[in-house]
Structure 1
């Protein structure tokens, strides 16, 4: 039985990946997660009784703890999801992003290199280290064009910069030491178990509570959206057939402005829980969820547009997204409606829905704060 070690496996994409692997592969899955605010064992409750699943609470920056996990479980593959991911939080506190995303990845690479170098030849050849990255490392696009695997790195937020740094370390370990690495850059994910600070679950939460739904700037910033299950299938394809040392872009060719996304969430909620049945909304005298949409001052360094060219993974690995945005959004909204207790549990004492990333240092060194709700 092959063993895959999944770091950050209690987070949003990681937990969806763990459930997919245990459902489709006869592999042993070992999860390492620090369990920060966005990671929760509630995300893994469906697999906690599977004898092939094991969990270790540890920080990937803890060299000794990760080394102990490698020695015990002797993994055949590593998939690194562990990361701080919220751009607004990176504006408020970039240090945590450097520590986890860059230094943590470095420590994980070092443990992996030392372990991999001791393996017998056949296991060394078949071993894989996969870094889960983001399209944000490429910066911002204009009205046309797409991010390709050879697009230059131009990160504009501390989050993106920390992920770019991690990518460069991963690539260097392949080029310098010959370690069999892979990197994926995915567009915006949505789906089950996403922490309620992100756009889609935050919109659902705000709408159900009849609170103002904030959209940054003019609402015309564009993102390419992919359902999380499609992304996880892409990761499996890259692990199985990806060329060592390469990187693959993952997207669904589904560009939407933020205003369009929020409007479509409101449409899905109208179908699942009509406004006329929401007492909280009726109390505000709003006639629809769309009435709650509010434009607020923009985020500092807000990239205007992301769009992914995923032709390489389609051509070389035969992967393509299968779930349309309309279908994925509807099942996502339905999941959050049925799992409102989950949202409350993971937020309790950690996140109260307020907007983050408001404070900016002005050019003359004077600090100013932008107001708004989120």
Structure 2
């Protein structure tokens, strides 16, 4: 079977255990050993785990306490985000040797549209192979890649032959590939949604494809249309090289649960300082301040306030954060607080730039 919509050549490059691999590359003593980046301390959460640690079931977002139970020999390493960013920029420069259509998702993964590319190479698979070889030779790290007709399938495919491998899903293979795919492998379907699908007899792409659009929208809301389309190989999202930042945030998990707002004020000040530092570094401002509260029972609550003007000042962020904290009584003791700033002036800049470019085109510049 074949698909009947515009076909692009999309590569999804995903670095293998990126943070952990950088640490092992920089420190010979860590090579071949089970390591976890972050996660140390009573309430620590792991950011990344080496493949040696993953064999024991250690993975990102897991508590350090549980990780040690699974792997007693686990070595914890403090994150060095400046180093990760430096390496990421080097890798990204390799991508741009092939196409300007590069959409980073994070420091360790990105989409590339190579339908038309700088090398004039018609084979996306060969381009992916060459990029992975260059990353290994020039940086010293391994990467995996998925290659297909759209972003969704490319991302799913990049996870197939990890680590240090790649998988191509050609146009004529798309439908069969998706039909046999375990529903848990569908990008965008998390653990909770997968459980809901299991309860409705949906275990594979084939099962999902048997459900009508009406059925999926009834049981999965707005996401229903997305599931209906992607299982048919339809995902027309373009690779967007200039993704506009929507928000900027910082948060902190406490070593002990806090039960009174008074004990949270000092923590809130540190968080506000970090948000202000990041705003200054990225040279952006915002209007909407949101306080994130995670309670001891892991329930989440957010409280927001939109100001009539753009701000990036720590004192205003902190005072608004305090106001939101005292806005209503806490539901329980608190394990995490976070502050984010959204409604950023990056959107305003984007619109201004679009108008400027339109004006230049209009007048022939």
TM-score calculated relative to the size of structure 2: 0.28
- More strand, by proportion: 2
The higher-RCO structure (CA 8 Å, 6+ apart) is 1
TM-score calculated relative to the size of structure 1: 0.27
